[in-house]
Structure 1
Amino acid sequence: MDELDSRLLVTMRAHPRVGLTELARLLGVARGTVQARVEKLTARGVILDFGPTVSAAGAGYPILAFVSLQIAQGRLAEAVQALRGVPQILEVHGTSGQHDLLCRVVARDTDHLQEVIAHILASPGVQRTDTTIALSTQIPYRIEPLLTQRGSPPPTT
């Protein structure tokens, strides 16, 4: 990725509904350049989608929790397959340390969260869960600082 790719991505994030012609105008480059760059970044897996970002809270799931799972030896694939069937699990990451998986989970309320956790515990291979409920979001998902500070070390405090 070069500086133009970074500027393109930051501009697309700032103006998600903008067309290629307007992107080209904002960046001061030809429309064909923008189109070629977008296609290249998409093919490389840098741009993952063009859909709207949907708020789980706005869709009726205001409770956000992070659920760490311990998985029985040799049953990871089975557990992950079972977790795919739980719509309230937004993402699952394999982790190092005390737990094997970290799940981002949403729920309608705390009673619903308890039901979701019970369902997770009933999944094959899941031995134990540890849940942390998010009370607020201090820094929402962001990528722009990485794109605008490429190659620079993090600031020191």
Structure 2
Amino acid sequence: MRANPRIGLTELARLLRVARGTVQARVEKLTNRGVIVDFGPTVTPEGVGYPILAFVSLQIAQGRLAEAVEALRPVPEILEVYGTSGQADLLCRVVARSTPDLQEIIARILASPAVQRTDTTIALSVQVPYRIEPLLRSAPSTAPHDRPQND
């Protein structure tokens, strides 16, 4: 399904040589367990006018993590925020239209009193794009999503 996201369940069943109902039940089970999380098209930031990708590390004032996260939510250029260990408390994946735009986004982030410091790294190129297939191929057959669930 990752290799051909437009494939229908009937065609998938034909390729796998199983009944369509079997495929539908398995896809539903994987979706319910959170293994499959979406079926939509992937939209690239570059394609909608945001060619700059940066990773912004944030150091947060002691005890103000929730406040910092809430301050980040309204900034649409922040695509993801991860809590981290090490020197930074949060790692943000940020896109921008230009480097001056990125500077403005960072200024908006720093406007929160909960954010003490930022450190920004601009991505110059993608060397290994997001991928899951190699992990799936190497995962043992006893992966958590394959184990029976107690209902």
One-letter identity of the residue aligned with 2:88 = H
Distance 1:124 1:42, change over 3 A: farther
CA distance in 2, matches of 1:15, 1:26: 12
What residue in structure 1 maps to residue 111 of structure 2? 122
Indicate whether 1:142 and 2:131 are aligned.
yes
Report the secondary structure of 2:46's partner residue. Answer: coil
CA distance in 1, matches of 2:57, 2:114: 14
CA distance in 2, matches of 1:147, 1:119: 39
Q: What TM-score does the superposition give when structure 1 sets the normalisation length?
A: 0.88
One-letter identity of the residue aligned with 2:102 = L
One-letter identity of the residue aligned with 1:64 = L
What residue in structure 2 maps to residue 39 of structure 1? 28
Flag structure 1 segments of 5+ consecutive residues without an equivalent: 1-11, 153-157
Given that 1:121 and 1:127 are in contact with CA atoms closer than 8 Å, whether structure 2 keeps it comes out as: yes
How much does 1:81 deviate?
0.7
Aligned sequence identity (%) = 82
CA distance in 1, matches of 2:97, 2:4: 30
CA distance in 1, matches of 2:73, 2:113: 12
Given that 1:82 and 1:124 are in contact with CA atoms closer than 8 Å, whether structure 2 keeps it comes out as: no
CA distance in 1, matches of 2:62, 2:92: 18
Query: 5 Å matches for 1:69-108?
Result: 69-108=58-97
Q: What do residues 20-79 of structure 1 show as CA deviations (whole Å, max 9, x unaligned)?
A: 001111112111111001100000011111111000011100000000000001110111
Moved over 3 A (4+): none
What residue in structure 2 maps to residue 53 of structure 1? 42
Report the secondary structure of 2:38's partner residue. Answer: coil
What residue in structure 2 maps to residue 5 of structure 1? none
One-letter identity of the residue aligned with 2:134 = P
CA distance in 2, matches of 1:135, 1:61: 13
Considering only aligned residues, what root-mean-square deviation do their CA atoms show, in Å? 1.0
Flag structure 2 segments of 5+ consecutive residues without an equivalent: 142-151
Q: 1:132 aligns with which of 109, 114, 121?
A: 121
CA distance in 2, matches of 1:128, 1:112: 19
Indicate whether 1:109 and 2:98 are aligned.
yes
How much does 1:124 deviate?
3.5
CA distance in 2, matches of 1:124, 1:91: 20
